[in-house]
């Protein structure tokens, strides 16, 4: 393959791709880099069926968005003559080993790849036997059980998925909540707002166990229970401290920096006390 400069107006995001393209601090850095140096790593695209000289992006959605922000008219790309199922597998595999990947991105990536492989298997018995959850888990360096658990997360409503991506709900809790119906998940969101807390693993397991018959009242009853780790808490409003951190920071990263700052403050106070 050779590198081809393709007008940005002729490039389209891969339909249904699972990876988020966010206007955050990392995107600002990438935009500035492209503005100064151009797109150093070519995109990978495929011809879009039913069009003339238009292409679907397989790898490089963030670079494409940054190039648009930087005011570029075209970007370099490799053109792959492949069908959508092959492209879906490439979309997933080309992004799975990024440094930062959200739980929701992994969930929909695994689902997209398995659906593509299953579709290939309908027309090719050999491919159908070759590609399975075992192969997906091998490429992703995850156990087969973990792949299935990630795919369960695609059953969560967007608001709960967002809480997972922000670190407010643990992965194991999200898996248990995925067995609730959509209405029950909506009832849970109301209970989360009312009690100003997210469910523990124990609470999520109980809701999962009662999923077939659980009511909004029962969800409220479970969520109203006091959890040991919620006693004597100091509550801070997110808007009071969010401005001090990059927009791309997750809750875990914010907590890490807060604890590092408190540790630094303590050491400074200790030095001042010793000096006196």
In this model, does residue 71 exceed pLDDT 80?
Answer: yes
* In-domain check, residue 270: no
* In-domain check, residue 168: yes
More confident residue, 239 or 79: 79
pLDDT digits (tens, 9 = 90+) for 98-115: 667 889 988 898 888 888
In this model, does residue 47 exceed pLDDT 70?
Answer: yes
Same domain, 57 and 3: yes
Cα–Cα distance, 31 to 29 (Å, whole number) = 5
- Which parts of the chain are beta strand (E)? 3-7, 11-12, 43-47, 55-59, 74-79
How many angstroms separate the Cα of 98 from the Cα of each of 101, 102, 106, 139? 6, 10, 11, 13
Residue 93: count other Cβ atoms within 10 Å of its Cβ. 16
Q: What is the CATH number of the domain that holds 66?
A: 3.90.1530.10
Same domain, 141 and 123: yes
Cα–Cα distance, 56 to 85 (Å, whole number) = 13
* In-domain check, residue 273: no
pTM strictly above 0.95: no
pLDDT digits (tens, 9 = 90+) for 127-175: 444 446 777 777 777 888 898 999 999 999 999 999 999 999 999 999 9
Same domain, 19 and 73: yes
In this model, does residue 35 exceed pLDDT 90?
Answer: yes
Span of 14-28, 47-61, 234-248 with lowest mean pLDDT = 234-248
Q: What pLDDT is attached to residue 212?
A: 95
Quick one: the chain helix, strand, coil %, rounded to 5?
60, 10, 35
* Overall domain count for the chain: 4
Q: What pLDDT is attached to residue 248?
A: 78
Q: Domain containing 117: what range?
A: 83-151
pLDDT digits (tens, 9 = 90+) for 211-269: 999 999 999 999 988 765 554 456 677 677 777 888 778 777 888 888 888 888 888 88
* In-domain check, residue 274: no
Same domain, 8 and 75: yes
Looking at the chain, the whole-number percentage of residues with pLDDT higher than 90 is 44
Q: What pLDDT is attached to residue 124?
A: 47
Backbone phi, then psi, for 92, in 5-degree steps?
-70, -50
Q: What pLDDT is attached to residue 244?
A: 82
Q: Tell how far CA 54 is from the center of its chain.
A: 28
């Amino acid at each position: 393959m050779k590198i081809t400069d393709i007008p940005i107006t002729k490039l389209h995001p891969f339909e249904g791709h699972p990876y988020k393209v966010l206007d955050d601090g990392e995107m600002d850095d990438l935009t500035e880099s492209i503005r100064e140096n151009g797109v150093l790593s070519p995109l990978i695209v495929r011809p879009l069926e039913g069009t003339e000289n238009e292409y679907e992006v397989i790898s490089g959605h963030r670079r494409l968005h940054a190039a648009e922000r930087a005011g570029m008219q075209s970007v370099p790309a490799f053109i792959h003559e492949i069908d959508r199922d092959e492209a879906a597998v490439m979309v997933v595999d080309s992004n799975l080993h990024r440094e930062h990947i959200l739980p929701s991105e992994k969930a929909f990536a695994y689902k997209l790849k398995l659906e593509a492989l299953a579709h290939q298997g309908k027309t090719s018995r050999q491919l159908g036997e070759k590609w399975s959850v075992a192969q997906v888990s091998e490429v992703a360096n995850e156990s087969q059980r973990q792949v299935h658990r990630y795919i369960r997360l695609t059953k969560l409503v967007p608001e709960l998925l967002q809480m997972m991506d922000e670190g407010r709900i643990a992965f194991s809790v999200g898996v248990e909540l995925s067995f609730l119906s959509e209405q029950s998940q909506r009832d849970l969101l109301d209970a989360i707002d009312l009690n100003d807390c997210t469910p523990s693993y124990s609470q999520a397991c109980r809701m999962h166990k009662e999923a077939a018959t659980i009511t909004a009242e029962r969800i409220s009853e479970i969520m109203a229970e006091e959890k040991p780790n919620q006693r004597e808490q100091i509550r801070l409003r997110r808007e009071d401290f969010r401005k001090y951190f990059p927009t791309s920071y997750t809750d875990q990263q914010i907590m890490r920096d807060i604890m590092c700052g408190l540790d630094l403050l303590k050491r400074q106070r200790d030095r001042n006390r010793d000096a006196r």
